[in-house]
Amino acid sequence: MLINNYTELKNALQNKVILITGAGGGIGLETVKILHYMGAYVIIAENNKERLKTIKKLFEKEIKELKIEIFDVDLSSLKNISKLVNGIIKKHGFIDVLINNAIIINIGNIEELNINIWEKSYSVNFRAPLYLTQKVLPLMKNRNSGIIIFVSSSGAAPYMGAYEVFKTAQVELANTLFAEIENTDISVFTIGPGLVKTETAESAINVIAEKMGVTTDDFYKMNEKHILGAEEAGIGFALSIIKAKDYSGQEISSIRVLNDFGITKNDKGKKEVDIKTIEIINNVIKTYNEQYDGWKKMNIFERQWVLRDFKKNVGISADECHVKLTQLIKIINDNKIFPNDYLSLFEKLKSYFERQFELLQGFEKNPEKLYEHSEYLRKIINELEIIIAEKIE
């Protein structure tokens, strides 16, 4: 395993009781392997019979040593969820970490999918994480300790409505919960794995690619910048627990976690940049951070609207953008180079601020404020245009 190269992380989660759903294969299974390496007591909730056989064989020794526990649980049943949690509490007394990872994916046009499919998806992709949270949260509050993780997705996507709608709802659930427990030592956040070639994902993508009129290979090529291996995504899931307090209230990604721990290096093309361009890039980042700090000071309802609008238009959360730009400052100032994959982010930021400029013209009625805010936005748009025109790619 890749994690074996980082011996300092071995037993970093010693004896933590962690419940992870849908961990019989793919990213979930890789996460279990990493959690076991890190010393956690892992409880797996899985419903796929073949996968249950596989993981029982894979972890036969660990099951006997009572370091890994496996339950056959249909998460569409509230009764079964209650039985699962009650059994864990009876045996262990508490749950340190809940990872809501289980999913079912149904692909098809909105009008084509039977309402029963939507209801089944709702029961597993949203109701189950909600009910599990309701079951474990009071215990965490009693101990003033715990971590709840929701696995998010990229958001609205064609032919994936019966999946993405409920995954997006998990993000809003996490945001709501964060606001309610902000003054406790309980952490809650969402983590997206990126595009990972698991068996489940590949089956869905085969259908999506056909509906989009492209080959599966073309689909992956279109999204190659966002592809991770299942093991890398699992490492991101597991390590996010260590930095849970830092991530609480945010929507993060496995890639961000890997970068935070220095486990993957970006080996994509880079180009040297001159002093003038470095100055412009630093100005852009400074302006973004001013905006970011201002958003954080808004009241909760206004803040949530702004942050949701930002993610919708830029493709990543404002928090993740802040982290990426902070990392870029260090890369540029230390090495005088610009990594290729930041160019698309700057293009998206330019489109976002152009949209803000257009909205401002119809919203601000005070001429002086209109001029002041318009100039502020023009400046960052112009600077972004200069950077993009440099074709640092």
Q: Is residue 377 part of a domain?
A: yes
Structural domain includes residue 329: yes
Do 17 and 88 meet the contact criterion of CB atoms below 8 Å apart? yes
Q: Please identify, among 206, 231, 260, the residue that sits at the C-terminal boundary of a domain.
A: 260
Co-location of 246 and 312 in the same domain: no
Contact (Cβ atoms closer than 8 angstroms) between residue 101 and residue 20 = yes
Task: Say yes or no: 168 and 297 in one domain.
Answer: no
The burial of 192, by beta-carbon neighbours within 10 Å (0-12 exposed, 13-18 middle, 19 or more buried), is given as buried
Q: Which amino acid is at 268?
A: K
Q: In terms of domains, do 211 and 281 share one? A: no
Which helix (DSSP H) or strand (DSSP E) does residue 100 occupy? Answer: strand 97-100
Judge whether residue 236 has pLDDT over 60.
yes
Burial class (CB in 10 A: 0-12, 13-18, 19+), 112: exposed
Question: Do both 236 and 287 map to the same domain?
Answer: no
Provide the number of structural domains found in the chain. Answer: 2
Same domain, 341 and 238: no
Residue 69 — left, alpha, or beta (φ > 0 → left; ψ -120 to 50 → alpha)?
Answer: beta
The residue range of the domain holding 373 is 270-389
The answer on 277 and 130 residing in a single domain is no
pLDDT exceeds cutoff 50 at 135: yes
Listed ranges 157-171, 173-187, 225-239; the one with the highest mean pLDDT: 173-187
Residue 249 lies in a domain: yes
Whether residue 274 lies inside any domain: the answer is yes
Average pLDDT of 228-232?
83
Same domain, 103 and 10: yes
- Is residue 265 included in any domain, yes or no? no
* Domain identity same for 94 and 227: yes
CA 248 to chain CA mean position, Å: 12
**Neighbouring residues of 266: CB distance < 8 A, sequence distance ≥ 6:** 259, 339, 341
Threshold 0.85, pTM exceeds: no
Residue that terminates a domain, selected from 200, 234, 260: 260
Same domain for 211 and 164: yes
One-character DSSP codes across 19-31: EEES-SSHHHHHH
Q: Residue 209: which pLDDT band, with cuts at 50, 70 and 90?
A: low
CATH code: domain of residue 113: 3.40.50.720
The answer to whether residue 123 sits within a structural domain is yes
**Distance from first CA to last CA of the chain, Å, rounded?**
33
Q: Are 284 and 387 in contact (CB under 8 A)?
A: yes
Greatest mean pLDDT range, 25-34, 310-319, 324-333: 25-34
Give the pLDDT mean for 135-143: 96
Q: How far apart are CA 229 and CA 193, in angstroms?
A: 9
Instruction: Tell me the average pLDDT across 39-51.
Output: 93
Give the H or E element holding residue 67: none
For β-strands 251-253 and 186-192, DSSP reports them as parallel
Residues 52 and 190 in one domain: yes
pLDDT in tens, 79-122: 999 999 999 999 999 999 999 999 998 888 899 899 999 999 99
Helices (H) and strands (E) in the chain, counts: 17, 11
Residue with tokens 């409920």: 166
**Rounded to an integer, what distance in angstroms lies between the CA atom of residue 375 and that of residue 356?**
12
DSSP E strands, the chain: 17-21, 41-46, 68-72, 97-100, 146-151, 186-192, 195-196, 227-228, 251-253, 270-272, 337-339
42 and 162 both lie in a single domain? yes
Specify if 206 maps to a domain: yes
Q: Which 3 state secondary structure label does DSSP give 87?
A: helix
What is the distance between the alpha carbons of residues 200 and 3, in angstroms, rounded to a whole number?
24
**pLDDT, position 219:** 56
**If you count them, how many residues does the chain have?**
393
pLDDT confidence bin for 390, thresholds 50/70/90: low
Tell whether the model's pLDDT for residue 281 goes beyond 80: yes
Out of 215, 242, 260, a domain closes at: 260
What is residue 91's three-state secondary structure? Answer: helix
Q: Are residues 185 and 156 in the same domain?
A: yes
Between 267 and 176, where is the model more confident? 176
Q: Which of 79, 125, 88, 89 is nearest to 105 (CA)?
A: 125
Residue 55 forms part of a structural domain = yes
Burial of 351 (0-12, 13-18, 19+ CB in 10 A): middle
Pairing of strands 251-253, 227-228: unpaired
- Cβ 190 vs Cβ 247: under 8 Å: no
96's tokens: 């340190």
